[in-house]
Amino acid sequence: MSPLPEPSRIANDLRALRLIWVAIAVGVVAFTAVFAFLIATGAMQPAVDADTAFYLAAGFSVVTILAGFFVQRRLTDTVLPAADSYERAVAAVRIHGIMSIAVLEAGALIGGVLAMVSATMTPLAFVVPFFAFWWLFFPSEQRLLYLLSRTSGLL
């Protein structure tokens, strides 16, 4: 088992993790703004009933939230305890972070698409769980050190 590397290396890995998370959030903000603009300008004609679109977005959102939490739980309970080096632990944190936030991004995107096809803003509200999850699991220094502590022998 390799010990923790120098603090500068941990800081670089943390910076890379944060950059990935911010880039994904910027993409969600961008497509949400485009969807909202298209709906607000009346460019979209309703093809689906607003209630149907809302319930579909809500159901998909619940599934994506559960999947996102499942990925994070798998990381802490299964993957990190089996990691045998700092490099593998950080790679696991990066991959599972991307997977979990991408699942929530899919929920936000489906909400946006359903908002467009129903020509109503209500399903667009399902972008909120993405940002709540993003905030909850954003890779802070304390969170990264906690996750590394789940890898036996590093901390």
User: Among 6, 10, 3, which residue's Cα sits nearest to residue 140?
Assistant: 10
The pLDDT assigned to 151 comes to 86
- Report the alpha-carbon distance of residue 17 to residue 150 in Å, rounded: 18
Q: Is the pTM of this model over 0.85?
A: yes
The pLDDT assigned to 84 comes to 86
Question: Residue 37: what are its φ and ψ, rounded to 5°?
Answer: -65, -45
Tokens coding 76: 């802490």
- Report the alpha-carbon distance of residue 74 to residue 63 in Å, rounded: 16
Q: What DSSP line would sit under 106-121, residue for residue?
A: HHHHHHHHHHHHHT-S
- Report the alpha-carbon distance of residue 145 to residue 120 in Å, rounded: 43
- Report the alpha-carbon distance of residue 110 to residue 116 in Å, rounded: 10
Question: In tens digits, what is the pLDDT along the chain, a chain of 155 residues?
Answer: 557 788 899 999 999 999 999 999 999 999 999 999 999 998 888 899 999 999 999 999 999 999 999 999 999 999 999 998 899 999 999 999 999 999 999 999 999 999 999 999 999 999 999 999 999 999 999 999 999 988 866 65
- CA angle at 108 for the pair 93 and 64, rounded to the nearest 5°: 55
The pLDDT assigned to 66 comes to 98
Angle between helices 128-137 and 86-118 (to 10 degrees): 170
